[in-house]
Structure 1
Amino acid sequence: MQGASVHRVIDPRKAHLLFRLQSARRVNTRHGQIPLSERMVSELPHAVVDEAKRSLSLTCRTRRVKCDETHPICKACSKKNRPCQWEAPHTKFKDYQPAEATSSNSASAHGGDGRMNVDGLDGTDDEGSLASRSRSPQANEDQGGHRAVPSESDGTSRSTTDLSPASIAVHSPGSPFLVERPKLQSSISVASLLRHPAEATRSHSLDDYQLTRKEAQLVHYYSEYLGRWLDCTDATRQFTLGVPEKVRKCSVLCHSVLSFAARHRRDDATADAAYQRCIALLIRRLSEPSASHDETLLCAIVILRFFEQLNVPSMTGSDAGQHLAGSSAILRASQGNHYVDPSAPTLREAAFWVYVRQCLYKATVNQQPPDIDFSLQLHPKPSSMQDSHPLARLRLDTAWANQMTWITAMIVDFCFEAETPGEQNGKLSRWNELWDAVQDWARNRPKGFDPIWHGVASVDSCFPQVYFTADWHAVAFGFYHFSCIMLHGYKPGPRFAIRTVGTLSNKDRQILEHAHAICGACRSTPEIVQLSIILCHTIFIWGPLMLDPNERNEVVQLLEDFERLNVWPTAWIITALKMEWGLATNNSF
């Protein structure tokens, strides 16, 4: 009886107490210090024990001694004069407090069955070894304090959201259905979401349900036009082909797709209603133990990030990035083994690469290091993948495209990381490594990545014409030129603090040559949205160097067309450019 009483009062979330059982089978409860039985310990969830281990110093864990968890040096290590080492912090879902929607208008007034044969299984990718240093992500602000509409059912139930404009009234202030958002009841590591699910677990809910006609139209719209946004480096098109199959089994994913599609169609009332419903379902779903095995939550969050970006006020560009905060730990995808597969064989890994690209946008606009764990290494290397199956090319193309994405992310991190005194020689060596990685990729990539046609500028355009056979070839092309721009602009070495106005150096001309390539690709294939997204954030690096009025005018036209066709807010970028160019923001060129 006493044991049963003790079992009730122990809080399994106090993980920092549990690992101490290795040295002392006693813990404190409200009734005093009592022993824990072997049965009670064995019944504790593995996630709790793992969390307990992470709270102790690595030195004490290795020596199996008691740790008081004092930072930066615990008492046990201090007494024995031993180096006290700690594990890097893990980002938790508890830091993610999604808020309800506000439309931009109101804000402004598949993996295959077979695996490929891989040479050198014990090897790691060159780019991964370049990124061996680890940096913990900056803490994201808690977005709590908002209000959300509670769901009358969990994420496995049938959608009952009324997507008509009249349904918005249910969410108005003072509504009896509007209650305080519940606090999340668990802190699930997002990294665990990308690990392969254990047997008897589910990747999404099991209850099938029928979509309404309007919902089906929005899902069809997503598969026709928007899945391409997320699959731009995935030749297997998992977000286009796989996600629409899963929306009938997971309401969180369903409503993220509905909100994204409705927003792109400029149906703000429907988009906001679907978003409100999605957030209410998401909050409840995150508190369930099975959430750690649900890949659809990862997909939903990266899709919600696109909804969030389309919701940014066009004139101000203010972007809270709260869904980036919610999915930032996706970059701990291979935290257990420190590897990530560039061929993205699963939907989990495909979501990882979507997040990397989303993170690059925000990092470049704000000129800050991307929130990415660069201790991750790419494995297997694309050059080691061999398979005679006709569909093997899809995985190879995906791997090569994502390898270029990863190289770009490392370069952005290198260029925007804080300067450390006395490391100038080390930075130059690192710059050379990154430059070699870019050039090695360009030399060794499959021939299919070459443009099928490339022409110089014509009377119709200041920029070259370039055409590709696949989105992932074009996007890799864009990231290649972006990487070259960054490396040219941030090469370590002496530089003048003041430069001659109105003139371009040789380095500036090299940067503009790569910028022209990006602009030409955008103009030639505007349907490849990721190219225009690359234009939007890289312009903050090379935009001020553009002196030709015709080139400026054409860049502005590209940005205006992007917002008109895809609802991506660019007016604030145009305003910033004109101010940088010393032009009146209300004047044409």
Structure 2
Amino acid sequence: MPGVPSNKACERCKKRHLKCDEARPNCQRCVNAGVECPGYVQTRKFIDQGATIRRRYAPYQEHHPRSGAHKENDVLAANPIQEQMPVDQYGNDLQTITPVTEVHRDEGRDSDASQGAQGTPDASRQGVVQDPQIQTGMAIMPSRPAVNIPNIDQTILNTGFSPAGQELNARNLLENPNLPTSGSSHPSNTPDTDFSQTHRDPSSEMHETSETRNDEEGFSDVFSELMTGTEHEVAFLTRYFSEYLGPWLDLSDSSKFFAVYAPIRALNKYFLKYSMAALAAKHLGKMKGQKPAAGGIFTSPATMEIYPNAAQTDWTLKGANYYYLAFAYMRHSITVSYAAPSSSAILESPIEMVNGYLSQQPGFARMDISDADTFLRDVEGLLATCVILTVYRLLDVPGDDWQTHLAGIESLFDLLLQLHTTSPALPPTFSQGERAAFWNFARQDYLASYSNRIPTHFKHSNLSLWKTAGIRVNELEPPDETLRLTHEDLAANTLTWLMNKMVNFLADYRRSQLAQWTESDEHAQPSTTTWLNLCFEFQSWFEKIPETFRPSLRIERPRDMSNLSEISYLPFPEIFFSLTSCTAAMQHYHFGRLGLLLNRPPDVMSAPGTAFDRLASLREVTKEVDYRCREICGIALSRPHGEVRIYMVPLLFAVGQCLETPETRQVIVDLLRGVEADLGWVTRSTVEKLQEVWSQQS
């Protein structure tokens, strides 16, 4: 098959890693240096050993084919091997130059063709790095030469994945229980990546042929795969998680367990480290490799903030790889205690896995203090991994399908509650990491249940569990000072419990309606007393919240700045809160009141007697519905932080069903689409459902 032509830089510039102007007969650099230009040599490099790379990553490509590939065998890569370099025709010793490997995609070539002969390495191939049309990751050098594209250290392509070159193989972890489960922030023998300047020289740009584009795509693919698990990539993804995704999970946790503590705990827990990398990689795939706008202006970003070819990297595939790595390490770390690994273990959910592990553990009272401390750290790491891997699944799942991914959460925390119970006289208390996991699951639980109008996994009547998580169900109870919760965290978490009660009330109300339609007496209808008690609890919560739950800015009639030629105003206000937890809490508070308002049980005794009384009552309901909808949309229009916006999707769906004018409905659509565009959180199905509802109403 034909080879790939090399760059035409002179031999002296290649050896010195300098930019050559390729002038004839002598390049200008050699003329300026007063030396004889050695001239130009044209060589061709043939493809070799693609099957080696393909076999090494086969477990990950079988179920996740790379986007853009025509068939599974299209991804062919070369396995770099350090060779003895020859002496060129001018007597220059080429031993210090590392050979450059290339990948060429040929749709008509079968898998055996990847074992073709390899051409003799020559220094002229080093000129590839000076072609501005070829992007990052397409050349490998032993040092940091002054070139115009990022330079990748040669060692990044070595098979130095640890432990024993098997760290990144989830299948090996499930089959080999002898691999380690913890270590440093990254294995010491895993190579790092070195980068230099990324500026391109416009004067050297030339027409890019289809062959060059194929070569570039192939090099990017191989580079992307070989970066998996390296120190630089894991650092890049961990920092991305800490800065952008960790706050999603710390909505009502001012101690920032997921953004601050989880990355530190991941230093010696592979399953936690790779779970963060999985979520970060999947989110980057949603964002097309672009990091969300945040922070200030950086003239020189840190190395761990940069990833070469980020926009061309298959982050979805990387996220799947890291997901199964986290799952495999998690499985391996706990199977020693209660089960042997099996090939079907990957089908088990992380929540079910930890459930099985905790069911076999003795209580904290039976452990030594040091053992209990170590065990608690392990439990916190496992719970954090469960939360992160669950969010990984929920990231592109509609709210109607959340419920199945949360199965087992109540039994999980009931087991934890039993482990913490030492004596009836001493109430148990969850640790910081356990509380952080609990409130994440509790928030996802009631939102998932609302979407389906079914009971929550966490029962609001399980008061011992909610108290252990850190709230006061009874106002007469003294606050637990050992928890060190802020007033904002305590109020936000208490509202989560109230929302749980409200959603279960709606589920009971729906079941009673279904029973009436089917003329069945199996389920009693919720009474007006229950509804009134819930309204009273919501009102009591509102009256006792700190002043930080008041908006610091409010514009009643904000001007539509998207159309400056005409003076027009938005149909909703803009409401801004200084604290993110307070923003979310107030939005969900209005959502809870709206849900109760629209689902009041009929009461014959207290119902208005005349037709005019009923009409006046309906007008009052309509007025309050309009007020709650305006408050929810006003908070959304102020563009709060991502951790607020991802959880407002069910709220906007409910509000959208209450709106009638095209103008207000378009605002809801824009808000929902903005969540997916800015944060990668799926809202497409919600918009389609809303539009279907509106078409039926018209």
Quote the Cα distance in structure 2 between the aligned partners of 1:486 and 1:339.
39
Match of 2:320 among 268, 272, 277: 272
Map of 2:278 onto structure 1: 259
Percent identical pairs in the alignment equals: 24
Deviation sequence 1:351-384 (CA, Å, 0-9, x none): 0000011112211222212111333324352966
Map of 1:310 onto structure 2: 395
Quote the Cα distance in structure 2 between the aligned partners of 1:481 and 1:162.
52
Quote the Cα distance in structure 1 between the aligned partners of 2:386 and 2:695.
39
Deviation sequence 1:476-498 (CA, Å, 0-9, x none): 112211110111111111699xx
Task: Say yes or no: does 1:227 pair with 2:246.
Answer: yes
Using a 3 Å threshold, how does the CA distance of structure 1 residues 149 and 485 change in structure 2: closer, same or farther? farther
After TM superposition, the score normalised by the length of structure 2 is 0.50
Quote the Cα distance in structure 1 between the aligned partners of 2:399 and 2:501.
26
Match of 1:541 among 643, 646, 654: 654
Using a 3 Å threshold, how does the CA distance of structure 1 residues 365 and 521 change in structure 2: closer, same or farther? same
Quote the Cα distance in structure 2 between the aligned partners of 1:583 and 1:488.
23
Map of 1:465 onto structure 2: 574
Match of 2:455 among 369, 386, 392: 369
Structure 1 counterpart SS, 2:695:
coil
Quote the Cα distance in structure 2 between the aligned partners of 1:505 and 1:518.
20
Map of 1:456 onto structure 2: 556
Kept in 1: contact 2:583–2:640 (CA 8 A): no
Quote the Cα distance in structure 1 between the aligned partners of 2:481 and 2:330.
42
Matches within 5 A, 1:493-512: 493=602, 506-512=620-626
Map of 1:404 onto structure 2: 495
Partner amino acid, structure 1, of 2:391: F
Matches within 5 A, 1:79-94: none
Map of 2:9 onto structure 1: none
Partner amino acid, structure 2, of 1:155: T
Quote the Cα distance in structure 2 between the aligned partners of 1:322 and 1:165.
35
Q: Whose RCO is larger (CA < 8 A, sep 6+)?
A: 1
Match of 1:573 among 677, 686, 690: 686
Kept in 2: contact 1:328–1:371 (CA 8 A): yes
Deviation sequence 1:395-438 (CA, Å, 0-9, x none): 32211110011111111011112327498686222111111111
Map of 2:407 onto structure 1: 325
Map of 1:156 onto structure 2: 182
Question: Gaps spanning 5+ residues in structure 2: where?
Answer: 1-61, 69-168, 193-219, 286-314, 339-356, 359-374, 516-520, 561-569, 608-617
Structure 1 counterpart SS, 2:646:
helix
Using a 3 Å threshold, how does the CA distance of structure 1 residues 102 and 349 change in structure 2: closer, same or farther? farther
> Per-residue deviation at 1:328?
4.8
Kept in 1: contact 2:528–2:603 (CA 8 A): no
Partner amino acid, structure 2, of 1:529: E
Deviation sequence 1:430-470 (CA, Å, 0-9, x none): 11111111100000111122111223133322222111121
Using a 3 Å threshold, how does the CA distance of structure 1 residues 340 and 371 change in structure 2: closer, same or farther? farther
Matches within 5 A, 1:100-115: none
Kept in 2: contact 1:523–1:558 (CA 8 A): yes
Quote the Cα distance in structure 2 between the aligned partners of 1:424 and 1:103.
52
Quote the Cα distance in structure 1 between the aligned partners of 2:284 and 2:600.
43
Map of 2:28 onto structure 1: none
Quote the Cα distance in structure 1 between the aligned partners of 2:429 and 2:630.
29
Match of 2:386 among 296, 301, 312: 301
Instruction: Name the stretch that deviates more: 340-349 or 504-513.
Output: 340-349
Kept in 1: contact 2:237–2:277 (CA 8 A): yes
Matches within 5 A, 1:196-211: none
Kept in 2: contact 1:385–1:396 (CA 8 A): no
Using a 3 Å threshold, how does the CA distance of structure 1 residues 165 and 413 change in structure 2: closer, same or farther? farther
> Per-residue deviation at 1:539?
3.6
Match of 2:593 among 484, 490, 508: 484
Kept in 2: contact 1:471–1:528 (CA 8 A): no
Instruction: Name the stretch that deviates more: 551-560 or 517-526.
Output: 517-526
Partner amino acid, structure 2, of 1:354: N
> Per-residue deviation at 1:148?
6.8
Partner amino acid, structure 2, of 1:156: S
Kept in 1: contact 2:399–2:448 (CA 8 A): no
Map of 1:560 onto structure 2: 673
Structure 2 counterpart SS, 1:582:
helix
Map of 2:268 onto structure 1: 249
Match of 2:632 among 500, 518, 535: 518
Quote the Cα distance in structure 2 between the aligned partners of 1:358 and 1:388.
27
Deviation sequence 1:273-292 (CA, Å, 0-9, x none): 11121122223334243953
Map of 1:527 onto structure 2: 641
Quote the Cα distance in structure 2 between the aligned partners of 1:449 and 1:224.
25
Structure 1 counterpart SS, 2:268:
coil
Quote the Cα distance in structure 2 between the aligned partners of 1:237 and 1:321.
26
Quote the Cα distance in structure 2 between the aligned partners of 1:278 and 1:437.
42
Query: Which structure has the greater CA radius of gyration?
Result: 2
Using a 3 Å threshold, how does the CA distance of structure 1 residues 105 and 308 change in structure 2: closer, same or farther? farther
Quote the Cα distance in structure 2 between the aligned partners of 1:332 and 1:388.
23
Match of 1:282 among 322, 330, 336: 330
Using a 3 Å threshold, how does the CA distance of structure 1 residues 318 and 371 change in structure 2: closer, same or farther? closer
Using a 3 Å threshold, how does the CA distance of structure 1 residues 355 and 412 change in structure 2: closer, same or farther? same
> Per-residue deviation at 1:228?
0.8
Using a 3 Å threshold, how does the CA distance of structure 1 residues 427 and 103 change in structure 2: closer, same or farther? farther
Partner amino acid, structure 2, of 1:547: E
Structure 2 counterpart SS, 1:248:
helix
Partner amino acid, structure 2, of 1:277: L
Partner amino acid, structure 1, of 2:446: L
Quote the Cα distance in structure 2 between the aligned partners of 1:283 and 1:543.
43
Quote the Cα distance in structure 2 between the aligned partners of 1:402 and 1:458.
32
Kept in 2: contact 1:511–1:542 (CA 8 A): no
Matches within 5 A, 1:412-423: 412-417=503-508, 418-419=511-512, 421=521
> Per-residue deviation at 1:231?
0.6
Quote the Cα distance in structure 2 between the aligned partners of 1:340 and 1:168.
54
Matches within 5 A, 1:59-138: none
> Per-residue deviation at 1:269?
2.1
> Per-residue deviation at 1:505?
5.3
Using a 3 Å threshold, how does the CA distance of structure 1 residues 162 and 427 change in structure 2: closer, same or farther? farther
Task: Say yes or no: does 1:395 pair with 2:486.
Answer: yes
Quote the Cα distance in structure 1 between the aligned partners of 2:335 and 2:191.
25
Partner amino acid, structure 1, of 2:394: Q
Kept in 2: contact 1:256–1:275 (CA 8 A): yes
Using a 3 Å threshold, how does the CA distance of structure 1 residues 524 and 556 change in structure 2: closer, same or farther? same
Map of 2:195 onto structure 1: none
Quote the Cα distance in structure 2 between the aligned partners of 1:104 and 1:365.
34
Kept in 2: contact 1:248–1:254 (CA 8 A): yes
> Per-residue deviation at 1:105?
8.4
Using a 3 Å threshold, how does the CA distance of structure 1 residues 519 and 162 change in structure 2: closer, same or farther? farther
> Per-residue deviation at 1:533?
3.1
Structure 1 counterpart SS, 2:591:
helix
